[in-house]
Chains A and B, each alone.
Chain A
């Protein structure tokens, strides 16, 4: 390289030697000529008339091998006198928008301004550029004409031309770039956003036209075919596009022109950035608009259609418009952009979309999926609240996630939403449970493998375990499907009974459950069908087996063991059965059968006996009544009192299999007592050696109170009936006397009699002693208005009154009783061992407490029991160790 340089310089020196005075003079002259001509060309307004002078001067200089000098001089003058000025003029157009931000430009005049200013600025600059290119052409011409003399090669002259022009382009773009104001990209972005919005509006209008066109009278054949495009005909696509394009041609052309101009000034990548971000911005808006807070419709398809209709159309048209110009104008830069590639791809040829367009489509769709997914994930909580109705939204989300694979985002976001909105003290257990069930169902759609469900369900389960009424609510949800079924299938969406029904056929599963402890068995089966397959698992594989146990399994999983659930159900069933006035237990039988399938025959055995008791009761009852009414002597006696055996219906229970039943003493009126005694006797006769023991405080009494001129009917508890019957003989009682007569404690009486006081049938007044009130029968006429409605509301009132006074000892009470044994053990071990951890207490109880029933509580139950003892100040919890409180 070095050698070559010295050679060329030597050659130059040689030239200098061979120069004559003439030639030097000629050079000087033409140099001066060139200077004047260049200045005339480029200074001020510019004067093309000096062109011929310019060319000859350049030619002379070229002849003397001073081509480079001439060229450099030209560019220098061009830069100093033209380009800087042009750039500053160009930027001056945008000075107004210096403080410009995308968010602030909503005012209409600003918007209009931008478009005009941009177009004007580009136009001015283009004119300027045009002029400069003319000058440039002269230079090229001069250089070429010189070269033709020397080299006369075609491609050589072309090389000169391209060299000169590329140098020029480099100059113009670098001058513009160096003086680029910061807000220009924002302006561009805004411009494209605005144009696209306009286009979008136009497209929407077209669509509407298209929808309406069948109703138009002047519908021509052409339009008819467009309508049939909706059927998806591929060949009609083209025509549809044609129409679109012709309508929007002007707009797109305008944009295209702007884009082309911008590119020619070297803003290629900036322009691309600008319209890409504008498109994405619009797409985001569109997704938000379409998706919004409506979960009842699938929006994925409309979004895709929109992508096809607006942004892709736009890009398509832009590509097409730029197509011919790009081919020579583009400096074929290394910038591989979707637009730059294959710009010449055919105009309406939908069948062969260019590679760039396809890439754009993929980009846009991915973006749409991601946006929609983020939107849906953020609102997943609400979506699941609306679950059965929001299925389309869930399906959308599923598709999005399949595309983007961002399941973990869903899990994180949803868990935090749950924590914040659901798992709070204010939410009722029922709501949480329903939400849990909906979550299970919804996530099952999204992810059939249940991997994410597991993650999401965990916090809910943990939280529910801490709630006291969880089991009760679960049982209610499980079994209260009857109401829903009666009201039609529309209401069963969140009932788990439906879930029970669904799996009715799966007998083989229940076969296992009967013999094994179902928890162990279940976890074993789960373990066996485990697959290491989070997101991309095949939904059709391995999921069937899981699904069967899914919801119930997960619900039972909250409690820890099915025994507790069964126990709670038993209490609830007992309550329900005891409150029945007829023997209609079809619904209960059905529920029980379903539960048997899931929890095994053996665990539901007691419940089955309870139901059988009811069935037996019905038979025995009619049997007894048949034999009782036969003896004629009883009839007159009973009719006198207005009571006959016919009115008694007994529920005969095998109390060993029922949960402990609350027993309250009650002296029922003598006639009734006699009747019950007769009934019991008959029972003994029929069912020897069995005897009937009445629980007189339980049951329901239908009675009618007759006042002067009107009668009111009530269905009340026996104690209420007994109270009111006492007023039949005596209109005024003191509370103590009445309590003694009925055989209940005074405070119980005071509580119960409230029922009649609220009905306005009995009034209460203070007696001589402070706690010995006087109750007096109110004359029926006093407030007949409120009594008129009493029959209707009395059922509710009883229910309210009976709240907390259930006939069956609740599971908690049973548990507390059992736990007192354990309390003594715990005290004993803590006395001797000082401090113990929860685990150790649990294990020690398991090992040594062989009471009847043996210790069978879960760790959670023990923990809650211990924390109960702690709050009673019997124990202390320090660093995870329990110690006795001294």
Chain B
């Protein structure tokens, strides 16, 4: 067994290709025979990936999903940020500039609006659960933006580590839910053209959620959603510890 793990680690990326290939084969089989066209194969593949990541996380206690199983460590390379960004940029090949401009200023507006909206949801929930400390409320609110904005904001405000973990969890819930729910609600929210994909990317913001959700809905829309979502986390990290924290403090009054 030890020898096999060493071999798998030395050929990690290849194991990743094989693993994803088999997973997608299973997903497309389920799509054809069990889901009967209700769900696209890629949506099922992403859901299966999340499910396996959950099982692996519960079993190993790690935080990298199936990549914490020594045999599948290579999946972490294939699914890491380097290949993800590389492939997203590749989807921009063949995008027409006129499509990118179709959403105009509304696309740009959707990013700050998305940050504030998510923050508000998280902050109100935190308040509802009895939190009154502005630092804690701000950190949870920032976590509802993305699981990066949460800890970055919490660290710069000096939040307690249990609050920071909660903010990461909130961001992870958001990312996972966006991946799963986007293909299910896509039709209802009109997510079928470049303009609405850009607005969607700006409003949801969570990079993994948006790219996963769009991949499962319509791969042609990926570059448009990724274009706006890429600015979301940066803007969130900028606004969280500054204007948003000051707004929370002003609303709650002197502690």
The finding on whether chains A and B are genuine partners in a shared complex, rather than unrelated, reads no
